[in-house]
Chains A and B, each alone.
Chain A
Amino acid sequence: MPLFLQRALAAGIITSILCAFVGVFVITRKMAFFANAVAHSSLTGIAIGFLVNTNPFWSAIGFGALVGMGIGYLYRKSVLFIDTVIGIFLPSSMALGIILIGFVKGYKPSLLSYLFGDILAVTNSDLYIISVLSLISFIFLTAFFHEIIIISLDEDWARVKGVAVNPIDYTFFVILSLIIVVSTKIVGIILVSALIVIPPASAMNVARNFKETMIYSILFGIISAILGIWFSYLFDISTGPSIVITASIIFAITLIARRKK
């Protein structure tokens, strides 16, 4: 197997596991559009990276995390629903990104790869960044697994029981943002929410309990990544959309399986 394909598979599997894992919490909290807002905001981060001549991946991660925290803060401090808050952040940060990109001199080919993803162009350095960030995310998510579930299901009850809701929740927003921005490298800004939403939604079609939902979600995420990359290589099609279409086909199969139960 060519080295670039090995890197693509490694990056695809790592991010799909994390997205599928964290996606269960995202769906439980009814905030599927959060991924879209953070992903689109990363465009601003990328533009800032180009403008200040630094690695746009880092600036995208930083700006994405800021937007994630901003959404969390405004949701808690205002009387607005979470979808309204996201509806404010998504177009605003996207608009800012478009304006800033206008100031970037010359043609920037990698900008397109952020929009649509370019997993086959993942370098060793990208893979290193993805691995480190994924490890940080994984440590946090497993250390506070129970607290995150309890907060996601019943925040008031968690507060009454003395769970440190605010610090855990803000960290969760930041970690979620990191995972989303890292995943834009795989499927791009436009399609990244599919990795967060589709595998857990497919799992919910067939799981009998929460534990199975977690397991199936991760399993479907991995299968989508491997088959998607393989189809992309086999049929010479774009990798990001290929992964998303594979995830959608799995969703359709699980939906049929649910109806037949």
Chain B
Amino acid sequence: MSVIEVKNLTVKYENTVALYDVSFSIEKGTLAIVIGPNGAGKSTLIKSILNLVPFAGEVKIFGKPFNKLSKEEHLKIGYVPQKFNFPKSLPITVDEIMHLSFAKIPISKLEKEKRIEKFLKMAHLENLRNYKIGDLSGGQMQRVLIARALMFLPEIILMDEPLAGIDVAGEKTFYEFIDSIHQRFGITIMLVSHDVTSVDKYADLVLCLNKRLVCYGKPSEVLTESNFHKLYGQDMGAFRHKPCPKDGPCELYKEQEVK
């Protein structure tokens, strides 16, 4: 069952075409990763699906256009923006962000409290609950945004470059975290990433975007040399993860050598 359907999506900013004739669908429970060079329209794609930018074409979530979704269906959609644009000097704590986001949601106070505690713990933020958000690092802030999205128990989460501002070590932790919530809750996840190696390891579905949809399918099928060339305009390959041996460390090898 498709939970996200996009048909002939075209987005123009003034006289610039950001996306042209993009069509695809994402099945329930899929971890889809969007890759592409800077300016390829990756963030625009996420924003179009969420009806945050004007577009031509057809976009449906849960089989309906975004503006026809019910209040309950809106709550089933999680969104993690690329960054949280607020004045750093504003004294607002992690705990307040979580509670304010939950305001007027028809669930009991006890349930809200339970969920906030659970997802802050899951995102390793339980000790930062009373920290002002201006005092958090980029990675910690990103985890707050993910915890905020998760506490609504969404069926779909869209993440716009969630790894922006996270270091290499943080990237690995992030993907493991995303993989665990994907496995545990069966959430449909669509995220934008530049890290092709992790795409290969974690994604069920890859969307290669460069204003048009260059390729679309399973990582093993689409992460090919010719697709990379079409996407980035240069020869490159993806590191693939070997299955980890029982008595040794996991290792990476490069399937397609850089010419």
Contact = CB atoms under 8 A, between A and B. Distances in A.
A176 B77 CA distance: 32
Interface stretch (B89-97, B112-120, B212-220, B236-244): B89-97
A210 B87 contact: no
Q: How large is the interface on B (under 10, 10 to 19, 20 to 34, 35 or more residues)?
A: 20 to 34
Which one of B47, B81, B90, B132 has the highest number of Cβ atoms from chain A below 10 Å of its Cβ? B90
Given A156-B50, A156-B52, A160-B77, A211 B96 contact: yes
A204 B75 CA distance: 32
Interface string A213-243: 1000000000000000000000000000000
Contact of A149 (B79, B93, B100, B152): B100
Interface string B69-98: 101001101010100111101111101110
Nearest to A146: B103
A206 to B, nearest CB: 9
A153 interface: yes
B69 A28 contact: no
Interface string B12-32: 001000000000000000000
A89 B132 CA distance: 35
Q: How large is the interface on A (under 10, 10 to 19, 20 to 34, 35 or more residues)?
A: 20 to 34
B51 interface: yes
Contact of B74 (A27, A162, A210): A162
B259 interface: no
Given A149-B100, A162-B69, A207 B91 contact: yes
Given A30-B87, A146-B103, A162-B69, A209 B93 contact: yes
A204 B104 CA distance: 26
Contact of A210 (B51, B75, B84, B93): B93
**Main SS class of interface, B:** loop
A4 B130 CA distance: 46
Nearest to B152: A161
**Main SS class of interface, A:** helix
A204 B91 contact: yes
A187 to B, nearest CB: 25
A159 B71 CA distance: 11
Contacts of A212: 91
B2 interface: no
A151 to B, nearest CB: 11
B101 interface: yes
B90 A210 contact: yes
Given A160-B74, A162-B69, A162-B71, A213 B91 contact: yes
B81 A209 contact: no
A214 to B, nearest CB: 10
Contacts of A210: 90-93, 96, 100
A153 B86 contact: yes
B104 A146 contact: yes
A79 B53 CA distance: 13
A79 B14 contact: yes
A28 B87 CA distance: 6
Interface string B30-45: 0000000000000000
Nearest to B148: A157
Instruction: List the 5 shortest-distance A-B pairs measured between CB atoms, nearest first.
Output: A162-B74, A146-B103, A210-B92, A160-B79, A207-B91
Given A79-B14, A161-B152, 10 more contacts: A146-B104, A150-B103, A154-B86, A156-B81, A159-B51, A159-B52, A162-B71, A204-B90, A209-B91, A210-B93
27 contacts: A27-B90, A28-B87, A79-B14, A146-B104, A150-B103, A153-B84, A153-B92, A153-B100, A154-B85, A156-B47, A156-B52, A157-B79, A157-B101, A160-B74, A160-B77, A161-B74, A161-B77, A162-B71, A162-B75, A204-B91, A207-B91, A209-B91, A209-B92, A209-B95, A210-B90, A210-B96, A213-B90
